[in-house]
Structure 1
């Protein structure tokens, strides 16, 4: 896939500022703006993965007031880090990406900090961002959201992993009342049994300092108390939220109206938890993949059931987060477990057919040929995984996945044009119906409270790239094998001769499992070595995938090692963004120093392709990254610095020369063409962010200053004349300040500049943006009003200015109702086209919580 062609480069750019405060098990909001686009935006997607993984998870970015947003789920935000990229597709077929150069191999990297407690509260991470130090204490009881009988309420907080706490500074607060005197405080545990607990929702809060007097971030847990054990078992806790919103957006004079409604119902009764989510949007289009979502789930300690749009995760190779509309079941019996999924991953899209015939089919004057394009076959998927062990210390699993396109879901006849009787309809394009099976196995060992984790995955796939004609007949097996062109009623392969009449079955008998015809790939999955079929043959199969991953969390080091080999013919339609034809390793370490005040991250990765030795050269990529995060404590600034070096080099040393001979004198060279396929380039990227919280005159100011640059250069000397290398140089500086006043006013200001230069562009382009916003609360936050002004100015290869003024309001009434509104006016002056636009947009939403 090629991004940013020369024509698109100067016109379109994705503007994005990476998030700076990222915490484990906390969702990450990614936002971007598409700037300089003159055609329609068809789709904007985000691809993300946990650092160290080879496959990306795909997610659509939703548009709101010109800003595209998507969330990286909390379960992918681990201490090893997060990688992501953004891809925008346009109606004219062009694309652009962020990062701009080689985004799949050099994605954005986010350093992830450990959260301060085990309750999973996002608000704790927010407090941590305001200057608190991560304490690493673990809340043993009660858990967040737990329902507890009054006689069994016990507060227990483990201090084992927080040796730097000054015990005399610990304050335990329950519902605003200090109960520290009732608590038993030791170096290993803080415990207290509150008395006279009344039924209802309660809040536990614990604050403490380290031995230097610096405060740790507060720990907050919410739990519910009921009268007795019987009531606790039968306690039903139900909550729901319904939100309806409408947006009317105008961009460069083109208006788009979007309406949607969301519903969320969750709760628990006795041992059963349930949840239902619904999204209905006006963006739903039968000619595109579904935008509407509906999900329902039932969860217990031994069985999980999910219906509707689910994102199952079997393994990285087979099924890893892809949306499936169907049914998912996970039976958890500790020693024996069974995971099952069935449904549809792609729905049928009819596409279009040409209004007039393209050509005369086969040169016949009375036969017309039409092309059918833009279609998608319905794809069904089912998979299961029996696995043994809970995963706490051991787990062994076997998995099977089958994905099959329904060849009858897209009809040839369309729009009144019927195939036959002098009319031939061709299914144009590369979207052929496919059949795919993946068999896998995985093994996990975990010890010492998951400080030692070793996980290994192996999978093998078999794929049919075009099942249009169905399975082969027995007669067609005669010339099925490669190199066998003689029809002698014998299947000849690898020196073996099998008479067709001796084959006791037809391939059609096994069509339900896999369709075999001349389009299967690879033809024979095992790579036979001199010793026959052995371990080496299995690990080096062209359609196999192998990965082993080790993590060690000892002595304030989080060490990771990964080795992988994914064959060039490995395909999983349940995980289509898995990188193939790659072999290599990755080693990394995250070091925690000075009581978690300093984090040092180091990673090195080397990968190569051309595993089948069928390419003209082998490309090796080497990535080294390092990061330093400093959190010195209250009153001092936090500093984050990251650097990355990415090298790409192949082993081609000579020029590719093509000779053209004189047609009248074949021995005389008429001309020749030189192609320079040598590759050796380096991308260097650095960024630094300094954040500081200052209180002055009773006003809290949170400053943020960042600088980032990236440079891509060619390392090959002696290039041929006319060779063009897409060198890239980017630099960005931003300054932001968020202020909170004594009275209910919050303001923000952000100024950023961005300069970009490319070897394929005639001149650089520059962006300057200024964003201001203020928010004031009335009636203790029941009513909020906000307003702001944004400026964006582009110069160089683009030349425009954009002014945006907005106002908004928030009103919460009767405790459960919320009304929000926003009005935007945008003035755009495009100096290149000498056009100007005055766009007015608004949004309105209402939500109710029950």
Structure 2
């Protein structure tokens, strides 16, 4: 085991105190009494993006959405997040991870509130949150790693850093070579035998502790310019005498299971809410066959809310995957994306044919509420007192009509979707999609306007030259009925509506009704009832090229004004335009240049009095050197919104310009510990050229470090300053400025069986708050762990609440694994 000297303990304490002293002089990050903490992993280009949000006051939260956009895009896409306990999670598709960053904000819907809240609270579209996307070095290094193997665990006495330069077309005899372990330069110990480079760290008095390490090799030409580099990780084993003896079992059968019990108490705004939860998972495999199951139970499950309990069971073979429970089917994104479905799903994958199918419910029934019946004579006064309410005739049998005030319930909505694919799933293919979704009229007694939806779509991908040249496209046509209460037209309805048509025309209309009513209810609430301008047709098409260190994409899209799919409720309708992006790799993948342009407009059917035109242009340059120098990304974005109304029209005119500049600098250094340092700066200025003059400005400056010490201590420090100028109305403009410090630490002791955590986060300015958290985790055995945490929020002032209350959150959980 790792021996920790008193000097190392003292060194760690001094470093921690010094860092806290620095942080006490400056400060800030986004502040909210709804969102506690957001975590993401380091993302590279082409990877899916996982985001986890820790929520406060989750008991009244009905739904949370994430609005996100790729670098250079004007419009935000949306997806619904999955809520489990006080944690909301979402996995964004790989297409969203385009360098240099992804922007996003959260939209929170609370019961009893008409309008949703956002995080960040102020000006989220102009000052969203960002996730840095690391470019992928698509050219493989020509340096061949010989020893140690990437990921290898090796004894310290056997460690030998060795690489081969035989893949270079020119002689490397006169080239300069640098070798590092972590940030220690061991180049003075290099031995060269032709194309072979060898360094034995023990020969130059370099001491490496047990645990993970990173080796880097750089090659420079005679002028000092970097030619190539390679980085890989390995780890140093514990001494043999300390290795535990364990039997080696080789079996094709593997299994894993866990159960976690948690209790949580939230005292928020002087109101205490208890949470009790259980999470059970069990996984097993036999060779290439897997079985996975998951069950989550909570006391938040109520019959007046959408499901809070979750369950899922999945069986998987190399060519087939199927399951039942709560899941998020992914189909062509015009039709199905980001929607939770409780039911059955299956994915079949063959060489020349694949099939995706899902069936279940997307909303469960919630009964409506009614008031005490009142007579006809009081109807006018009741309507005047609550003009936004729904009133329904309740009883006419007594001779005196009785009315009720109705809070409509939610119908159970069923959904079925099927997607056959002819060709290779990830290569050239042609697919078709059919989606059918309908509200169950009989599921509740008190509801209004049950709806029905049918969508037909097709998608195609033509892939050539090892996917370096691709042509892709998809199209979908939807039909929506906004009220199926009375069912389809009867013959008498058609005769009455089309009374001035001859008998033959009415017969043809009845035949069409008979045919289409097998697909969707046909009445006056059906969209489209006419095909002029094809308002329910949407399509997208594009081309992708990946040549000469360029990644080029062109996309054209049109979403009809009335297009709607119940499987993708966040798709923006009524938009048409194109986008162009290009990413260029230069100087042996050390410089990445990204550019883009997007032009969109609405009013696709010409029915609106004004047409909105949006233009977005962007450029970003990233420098990721192979030498020991900081990574730097600098971005500039310009966007404009302008409609066809006269600029002097103070009511309908829209004419604004937005300029944004973003800078990110990151560096890993070693000084008593390994520190990942970063500095960020962002500013956004929106100029409103209409008579309303609703200008906004946002500036953020951040500085932070994550540090890993030689002894079991990890620390994180963040300093952020936020300043936002918001125009609430023509005559009211507000500036909100605040600074936050965030400092946290994690320390392991008692042979790493106990982990202590703590954080301190004061906020100053227009927002004043102090956050203190303490936590402890103890591992009784390898399979049994207990953890407790307490969060104390000392709220002094929020910009929308000058007298907030202090809040306390306490959790305790115990986890067992097999």
For 1:339-354, what aligned pairs fall within 5 Å after superposition? 339-354=356-371
Against the structure 1 CA distance between its residues 181 and 700, is the aligned structure 2 distance closer, same or farther, given a 3 Å change threshold? closer
1:621 CA displacement: 0.8
Q: 2:317 aligns with which of 271, 281, 300?
A: 300
CA distance in structure 2 between the partners assigned to 1:186 and 1:389 by the alignment:
41
Against the structure 1 CA distance between its residues 361 and 561, is the aligned structure 2 distance closer, same or farther, given a 3 Å change threshold? farther
CA distance in structure 1 between the partners assigned to 2:60 and 2:301 by the alignment:
17
Against the structure 1 CA distance between its residues 100 and 803, is the aligned structure 2 distance closer, same or farther, given a 3 Å change threshold? closer
Corresponding residue number in structure 1 for 2:15: none
For 1:660-679, what aligned pairs fall within 5 Å after superposition? 676-679=651-654
Q: Are 2:49 and 1:47 equivalent residues in the alignment? A: no
Corresponding residue number in structure 2 for 1:806: 773
Corresponding residue number in structure 1 for 2:609: 616
Corresponding residue number in structure 2 for 1:745: 713
For 1:72-151, what aligned pairs fall within 5 Å after superposition? 72-73=91-92, 75=94, 78-79=97-98, 82-90=102-110, 91-98=112-119, 110-114=131-135
Against the structure 1 CA distance between its residues 655 and 682, is the aligned structure 2 distance closer, same or farther, given a 3 Å change threshold? closer
1:96 CA displacement: 3.2
Whether the aligned pair in 1 keeps the contact of 2:373 and 2:402 (CA below 8 Å) is no
Judge which range, 96-105 or 745-754, deviates more: 96-105
Corresponding residue number in structure 2 for 1:57: 79
CA distance in structure 2 between the partners assigned to 1:322 and 1:541 by the alignment:
26
For 1:309-388, what aligned pairs fall within 5 Å after superposition? 309-355=326-372, 357=374, 360=377, 366-388=400-422
Number of aligned positions between the proteins: 700
Against the structure 1 CA distance between its residues 103 and 359, is the aligned structure 2 distance closer, same or farther, given a 3 Å change threshold? farther
Q: Indicate the SS of the match to 1:571.
A: coil
Corresponding residue number in structure 1 for 2:175: none
Whether the aligned pair in 1 keeps the contact of 2:65 and 2:79 (CA below 8 Å) is no
Whether the aligned pair in 1 keeps the contact of 2:720 and 2:740 (CA below 8 Å) is yes
1:849 CA displacement: 2.4
Q: Are 2:37 and 1:70 equivalent residues in the alignment? A: no
TM-score, with length taken from structure 1: 0.74
Judge which range, 372-381 or 625-634, deviates more: 625-634
Q: 2:51 aligns with which of 8, 23, 29?
A: 29
Whether the aligned pair in 1 keeps the contact of 2:81 and 2:88 (CA below 8 Å) is no
CA distance in structure 2 between the partners assigned to 1:309 and 1:402 by the alignment:
19
For 1:604-683, what aligned pairs fall within 5 Å after superposition? 604-633=597-626, 635-653=628-646, 676-683=651-658
Q: 1:516 aligns with which of 522, 526, 537?
A: 522
CA distance in structure 2 between the partners assigned to 1:602 and 1:170 by the alignment:
39
Whether the aligned pair in 2 keeps the contact of 1:752 and 1:770 (CA below 8 Å) is yes
CA distance in structure 2 between the partners assigned to 1:62 and 1:794 by the alignment:
34
Against the structure 1 CA distance between its residues 654 and 643, is the aligned structure 2 distance closer, same or farther, given a 3 Å change threshold? closer
Q: Are 2:471 and 1:437 equivalent residues in the alignment? A: no
Higher relative contact order (CA 8 A, sep 6+): 2
Against the structure 1 CA distance between its residues 650 and 505, is the aligned structure 2 distance closer, same or farther, given a 3 Å change threshold? closer
Whether the aligned pair in 2 keeps the contact of 1:361 and 1:367 (CA below 8 Å) is no
CA distance in structure 2 between the partners assigned to 1:326 and 1:242 by the alignment:
24
Q: Are 2:704 and 1:736 equivalent residues in the alignment? A: yes
Whether the aligned pair in 1 keeps the contact of 2:98 and 2:133 (CA below 8 Å) is yes
1:793 CA displacement: 3.0
Q: Are 2:563 and 1:577 equivalent residues in the alignment? A: no
Q: Indicate the SS of the match to 2:520.
A: coil
Q: Are 2:808 and 1:774 equivalent residues in the alignment? A: no
CA distance in structure 1 between the partners assigned to 2:774 and 2:809 by the alignment:
11
Q: 1:699 aligns with which of 673, 691, 699?
A: 673
Q: Deviations over 1:683-739 (max 9, x none)?
A: 22222222222222x3223322222222222123xx3xxxx4543211122222233
Whether the aligned pair in 2 keeps the contact of 1:252 and 1:828 (CA below 8 Å) is no
CA distance in structure 1 between the partners assigned to 2:759 and 2:795 by the alignment:
17
Q: Are 2:167 and 1:187 equivalent residues in the alignment? A: yes
Corresponding residue number in structure 1 for 2:661: 686
Whether the aligned pair in 2 keeps the contact of 1:311 and 1:322 (CA below 8 Å) is yes
Q: Indicate the SS of the match to 2:595.
A: strand
Corresponding residue number in structure 2 for 1:787: 758
CA distance in structure 1 between the partners assigned to 2:557 and 2:324 by the alignment:
34
CA distance in structure 1 between the partners assigned to 2:724 and 2:150 by the alignment:
53
Against the structure 1 CA distance between its residues 17 and 710, is the aligned structure 2 distance closer, same or farther, given a 3 Å change threshold? farther
1:176 CA displacement: 2.0
Q: Indicate the SS of the match to 1:408.
A: helix
Q: Indicate the SS of the match to 1:285.
A: coil
Corresponding residue number in structure 2 for 1:498: 505
Corresponding residue number in structure 2 for 1:286: 303
Q: Deviations over 1:737-764 (max 9, x none)?
A: 2333332222222222212211224532
CA distance in structure 2 between the partners assigned to 1:292 and 1:383 by the alignment:
24
Corresponding residue number in structure 2 for 1:401: 435
Q: Deviations over 1:262-285 (max 9, x none)?
A: 223233213322221222222222
Q: Are 2:219 and 1:211 equivalent residues in the alignment? A: yes
Q: 1:556 aligns with which of 549, 556, 577?
A: 549
Corresponding residue number in structure 1 for 2:196: none
1:168 CA displacement: 7.1
Q: 2:688 aligns with which of 714, 719, 724?
A: 714
Q: 1:544 aligns with which of 518, 522, 537?
A: 537
1:351 CA displacement: 3.0
Q: Are 2:559 and 1:566 equivalent residues in the alignment? A: yes
Whether the aligned pair in 1 keeps the contact of 2:85 and 2:298 (CA below 8 Å) is no
Against the structure 1 CA distance between its residues 546 and 71, is the aligned structure 2 distance closer, same or farther, given a 3 Å change threshold? closer
Q: Indicate the SS of the match to 1:478.
A: helix
Q: Indicate the SS of the match to 2:114.
A: coil
Whether the aligned pair in 1 keeps the contact of 2:43 and 2:97 (CA below 8 Å) is no
Corresponding residue number in structure 1 for 2:207: none
Q: Indicate the SS of the match to 1:325.
A: strand
Against the structure 1 CA distance between its residues 838 and 758, is the aligned structure 2 distance closer, same or farther, given a 3 Å change threshold? closer
CA distance in structure 1 between the partners assigned to 2:346 and 2:164 by the alignment:
44
Whether the aligned pair in 2 keeps the contact of 1:681 and 1:715 (CA below 8 Å) is yes
Whether the aligned pair in 1 keeps the contact of 2:494 and 2:510 (CA below 8 Å) is no
Q: Are 2:605 and 1:588 equivalent residues in the alignment? A: no
Q: Indicate the SS of the match to 1:498.
A: helix
Q: Indicate the SS of the match to 2:686.
A: strand
Whether the aligned pair in 1 keeps the contact of 2:327 and 2:340 (CA below 8 Å) is yes
Whether the aligned pair in 2 keeps the contact of 1:773 and 1:789 (CA below 8 Å) is yes
CA distance in structure 2 between the partners assigned to 1:215 and 1:327 by the alignment:
48
Q: Deviations over 1:480-534 (max 9, x none)?
A: 4xxx5xx25747xxxxx6143x677594676442110010111123x3xxxxxxx
1:84 CA displacement: 3.1
Against the structure 1 CA distance between its residues 812 and 101, is the aligned structure 2 distance closer, same or farther, given a 3 Å change threshold? closer
Whether the aligned pair in 2 keeps the contact of 1:170 and 1:209 (CA below 8 Å) is no
1:373 CA displacement: 1.8
Gaps of 5+ in 2: 1-30, 169-210, 221-225, 236-248, 381-395
Against the structure 1 CA distance between its residues 101 and 545, is the aligned structure 2 distance closer, same or farther, given a 3 Å change threshold? farther
Q: Are 2:482 and 1:458 equivalent residues in the alignment? A: no
For 1:258-273, what aligned pairs fall within 5 Å after superposition? 258-273=275-290
CA distance in structure 2 between the partners assigned to 1:205 and 1:775 by the alignment:
20
Whether the aligned pair in 1 keeps the contact of 2:82 and 2:90 (CA below 8 Å) is no
Whether the aligned pair in 2 keeps the contact of 1:452 and 1:551 (CA below 8 Å) is yes
CA distance in structure 2 between the partners assigned to 1:102 and 1:607 by the alignment:
23
Whether the aligned pair in 1 keeps the contact of 2:62 and 2:305 (CA below 8 Å) is no
